[in-house]
Structure 1
């Protein structure tokens, strides 16, 4: 029998703004940290006996005069607190529905009347993503389908709509990353990108096209698998884009499963390698979000897709591979496959698209997990201005980045005696990987985003659920928006 495939995109709670109070809905009130509880406009008949602190994401059941509900804490009221509160509320409502085995009713949230629109958006983003759940199962467990924020403010409605679009991009990236690799091979990823990005011009290049055009890195990495590689090219070129607006190219690593190849990985943890295409997922999701927001900027996405497997046709340590454009690379570790496929895509981006800015994103090095942990992405950029633009875009999206150095002292380490470049030299792994990739950016403004740490989560926190996190998708959307006049 064929494997059971999850529904991609997975259903999400529908978060919207309304002025109409439902009779059949569940209720939620907002509490800030400290002695004053900000309860919005709904009637409460008990607060004196409730042991609520208002801490962020604290959810207390409330017997309200109009039916059951919750008091939801937003702590000090930071954007992160509001995202965490939205996610916690939806998780609590879903848990209630499953415990009672009943279809959940819509949840209505009484927002404080003076709430800043952006914070309402953060709550909506958290509520949307807190309800994201990727399951490969024949069962249909109860889930929250609708969250309504009570407000008559057009600014709140606008902020919520934008936040929901960002959340949907993150959720799509989670879906793509979390889909098991017996379903998700390069062809599946490419066709799913085509299907879910109907507003974009999507071209899928097969292995014959890749061979004809000299994508030696992608072909080498994918050569050991029965599932041949692909290149996904997504284009957003709206008529409203002005000529002086930069053309941004986003490149994402699309390794649909990574055994390490002949330099095979340890068995422990290898099952997580279905998420090794999280960079490619972020690029696909970001392009879809950019189109949904109708941003007047030209953006191209490139996702080289391959499965790094072990077989008689797998590439070997010691091989010399010729990339798109002619640069040759000496392979020293087949588990450093991400930079091999990114190199082809970067060179192709420079030659085919002549971009003003290139950004690649990848789960590239374990070294970055050691350096920055599991919730922060690393930024290597050719200029402080570009690095700051990315970290600011991330901060506005609720994603944390840290600028890392492109240490020139190690630039010579990526040179090879037998080829132009050496793929995986000794030294600081995150730095040398970035320096290798820089060789293919042709001196253009370029940044490399290493998301090896935050692309996966083992437990829920804030708006993040266990599994693929969708990290970087929102940052890339905000980055594109930052170039608008």
Structure 2
């Protein structure tokens, strides 16, 4: 992972990326008179990126763009950082120093964040030409009078956690099955200092988690149920916040096999919600945020083999409710329902659940945001929306009207696991609401969790969406 470090100064041979305004003092960059003249001329032409190639180094000056809203200007800085990262990797630079000529800590941190996130690669399974394709950039130094070491350490934690989530999402199921994802969370817990308990199949059976067990019936690998807890002595909340993440490590659709071309190619990503909540725990524990948080991850793959559950089956869930299963490809809600029901024992202040739950959510807003709905109050939703803007993982609030629950009524059980041909993202959320008796927010990350081509500082494949959002939320909710 990219190291982000504080630097009190820089030398005449270091590659530089300067963040500036039109009124900045560019003489600090060690440029010649001719180079300064060229730079100022380009700025007068409203150029935001100016590159100066010297014999021993490259200097890039970025003039921050003005936007109507502050969060859009911050996102422009992240994107600029990503662009600069590409340039320095192109010239095989090993390190770069960001010079804050504008004297703005927030801008500088955003620029560095874009560089570090954009520098990500997943090369774990490459055995040939690794050196050729591996990015050269290993260290980002920050030279700023306004940025302190604590801010840089915090940024490093956020970036590290996001990249861990990307790694988990990118891992194939022949490595990352339900047992292994639990082991990964245990490893993170040991490293960051939060508690991790993993329930095996026998314990899951004793808890009568019928949804998780039903989905797992088609698999040769056992399910797991991971409980992670961060409870510092200075926690400001009396009742815990609960995070729940969907841990379907691979989804074939079960016996309701996915019918469309290439529809299974990326289904290793169906545990992106689990990766998000686990890596959020890693981040808040390393940062020692004063908040009590518990994360729950039900994990299994969904396959059509063995004694797989089939449409028409009646499944008794953890809370005793019965579900008429009419589509085996609506498996995420089955395992999440058990986790949400289990969460009741903690009497939570709020539960936030993340899942790549529906194609309907992805179709509605694409990779550009997160579909949200639920029963939490306006204050909590507004805080989460603000956090979404802060990290540019924007929240799109969907209606959650009671009438949508009528679409889940069953003639022979308490409810069905699908709602019909309309409002699929919402009926999935209404299904999960049936298993909550506390304030609840459902986040459907199906659109942005895994993308088929790089998009700004988000790489092709797993994006780690949700980690930065939740970290920012817990940094502000108290």
TM-score normalised according to structure 2 size: 0.90
**1:177 equivalent in structure 2:** 169
Number of positions where the alignment pairs a residue of Structure 1 with one of Structure 2 = 460
How many angstroms apart in 2 are the aligned matches of 1:186 and 1:53? 54
Distance 1:26 1:431, change over 3 A: same
Q: 1:166 aligns with which of 135, 158, 169?
A: 158
1:430 aligns with 2:418: no
Greater CA drift, 383-392 or 332-341: 383-392
Distance 1:285 1:458, change over 3 A: same
**2:466 equivalent in structure 1:** 472
Greater CA drift, 226-235 or 413-422: 413-422
1:216 aligns with 2:210: yes
Q: 1:126 aligns with which of 89, 96, 114?
A: 114
1:440 aligns with 2:429: no
User: What secondary structure does 2:145 align onto?
Assistant: coil
Greater CA drift, 38-47 or 104-113: 38-47
Query: Unpaired runs of 5+ in structure 2?
Result: 68-72
1:252 aligns with 2:245: yes
Q: 2:372 aligns with which of 344, 354, 379?
A: 379
Distance 1:328 1:438, change over 3 A: same
Instruction: Report the aligned-residue RMSD.
Output: 2.3
User: What secondary structure does 2:91 align onto?
Assistant: helix
**1:263 equivalent in structure 2:** 256
User: What secondary structure does 1:120 align onto?
Assistant: helix
Q: 2:446 aligns with which of 449, 452, 455?
A: 452
Q: 1:41 aligns with which of 23, 28, 36?
A: 28
Bigger fraction of residues in helix: 2
Q: Is the 8 A contact 2:94 2:136 kept in 1?
A: no
Distance 1:200 1:367, change over 3 A: same
CA shift digits 1:28-77 (9 cap, x unpaired): 23355xx7787472123325556957999976542247623333454337
User: What secondary structure does 2:137 align onto?
Assistant: coil
Q: 1:28 aligns with which of 10, 17, 20?
A: 17
Distance 1:216 1:43, change over 3 A: same
How many angstroms apart in 1 are the aligned matches of 2:47 and 2:210? 49
Q: Is the 8 A contact 1:214 1:323 kept in 2?
A: yes
How many angstroms apart in 1 are the aligned matches of 2:472 and 2:44? 31
Distance 1:40 1:416, change over 3 A: farther
Q: Is the 8 A contact 2:354 2:445 kept in 1?
A: yes
Q: 2:57 aligns with which of 64, 67, 87?
A: 67
Q: Is the 8 A contact 2:157 2:286 kept in 1?
A: yes
Q: Is the 8 A contact 2:119 2:135 kept in 1?
A: no
TM-score normalised according to structure 1 size: 0.89
